[in-house]
């Protein structure tokens, strides 16, 4: 495992036997036996002239098989149950699917059926999908911003993305339109009428200053949702873990909102660890 992890961390480099032995704290005889066997099986490749080693093609098939194993969704019910019990709020898991975000599981709050799937799909139009975009590449973010219904939303989103990366969670304030759009009784976009209703809600939300960057101690927030990312093995956001109805009982001050955010981050991190996910390095 040490050999494979070394080569995986440096995919653009090739290592000699001596370098592998030194970096993996192995004696040369042990390293030679390992590298020879892994090369014979196609797990590693050895350059015939340079005598340097890199990852081999057999790992592609192994990786494809691993992707068909457990995902974060398989581990989500227990984590969401714990988060809902600890906060007294509704907890849900969201997944990005093409040009939509989809609620794949929801527990607590007004939902009594443990781990029930919610057929709720919301178009990936700003400000929807902030946490997914916070760790996306610039081209993906630009395409997402181009779908915004108002320039106000673009400005708030651009300002919030670095803050979300730093603090590890995103906050949305509530409005009647946002609640209808994102809660289980909202339009499903499965038919023309529902799609039109979602577009109308998105247009309304685009003109509302709902995006919160970094919560301030001297401010109270009518927060609707707090979301933190679950990362897959590739470092991309695999799920968003959300608690909803945060300010249903009244405004929440910044310090309490940050504390709640850290609870949601801890739940999301537990799912990341369950699937051996990888949090990417902090981007500027």
> Mean pLDDT throughout 244-250?
91
Do 133 and 246 belong together in one domain?
yes
Q: How far apart are CA 60 and CA 76, in angstroms?
A: 27
Strand partners, 228: 241
Q: Are residues 119 and 77 in the same domain?
A: yes
Which residue did the predictor score with more confidence, 234 or 124?
Answer: 124
Distance CA 263, CA 208 (A): 27
Task: Show the tokens assigned to 184.
Answer: 């289980």
Is the pLDDT confidence value at 280 over 80?
Answer: yes
Q: How many domains does the chain have?
A: 2
Using a cut of 0.85, tell me whether the model's pTM lies above it.
Answer: no
Domain hosting residue 261, numbered range:
72-274
Same domain, 81 and 184: yes
- Same domain as 94, residue 59: no
Buried b vs exposed e over 50-59: b needs ≥16 C-beta within 10 Å?
Answer: eeebebbeeb
- Binned at pLDDT 50, 70 and 90, residue 228 comes out as very high
Domain boundary among 67, 91, 107: 67
The reply to whether 216 and 230 lie within a common domain is yes
So what's the pLDDT on residue 114?
44
- Per the prediction, the chain carries an average pLDDT of 89
Are 115 and 203 members of one domain?
yes
pLDDT digits (tens, 9 = 90+) for 53-101: 999 988 888 877 776 667 889 999 999 999 999 999 999 999 999 999 9
- Whether residue 41 lies inside any domain: the answer is yes
- Could you give the CA distance from residue 116 to residue 278 in angstroms, rounded to a whole number? 27
Position 236 in a domain: yes
Which of 54-68, 104-118, 143-157 has the highest average model confidence (pLDDT)? 143-157
> DSSP letter at 279?
P
Looking at the structure, tell me whether residues 104 and 204 fall in a common domain.
Answer: yes
**pLDDT above 70 as % of the chain:** 90
| Residue 95 host element (H or E) | strand 90-97
């Amino acid at each position: 495992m040490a050999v494979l992890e070394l080569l995986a961390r440096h995919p653009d480099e090739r290592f000699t036997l001596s370098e592998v032995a030194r970096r993996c704290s192995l004696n040369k005889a042990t390293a030679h036996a390992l590298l020879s066997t892994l090369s014979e099986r196609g797990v590693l490749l050895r350059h015939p002239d340079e005598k340097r080693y890199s990852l081999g093609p057999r790992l592609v098939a192994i990786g494809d098989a691993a992707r068909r194993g457990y995902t974060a969704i398989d581990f989500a019910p227990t984590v969401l149950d714990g988060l809902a019990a600890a906060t007294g709020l509704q907890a849900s898991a969201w997944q990005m699917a093409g040009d939509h975000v989809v609620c794949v599981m929801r527990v607590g709050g007004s939902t009594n059926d443990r781990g029930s799937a919610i057929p709720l799909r919301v178009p990936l139009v700003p400000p929807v999908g902030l946490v997914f975009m916070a760790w996306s590449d610039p081209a993906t973010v630009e395409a997402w911003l181009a779908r915004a219904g108002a320039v106000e939303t673009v400005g708030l989103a651009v300002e919030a993305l670095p803050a979300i990366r730093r603090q590890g969670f995103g906050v949305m304030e509530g409005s009647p339109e946002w609640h209808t759009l994102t809660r289980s009784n909202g339009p499903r976009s499965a038919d023309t009428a529902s799609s039109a209703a979602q577009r109308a809600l998105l247009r309304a939300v685009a003109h509302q200053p709902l995006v919160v960057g970094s919560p301030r101690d001297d401010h109270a927030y009518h927060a609707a949702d707090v979301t933190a990312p679950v990362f897959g093995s590739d470092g991309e956001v695999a799920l968003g873990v959300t608690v909803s109805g945060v300010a249903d009982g009244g405004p929440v001050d910044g310090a309490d909102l940050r504390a709640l955010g850290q609870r949601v981050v801890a739940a999301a991190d537990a799912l990341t660890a369950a699937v051996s996910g990888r949090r990417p390095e902090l981007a500027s």
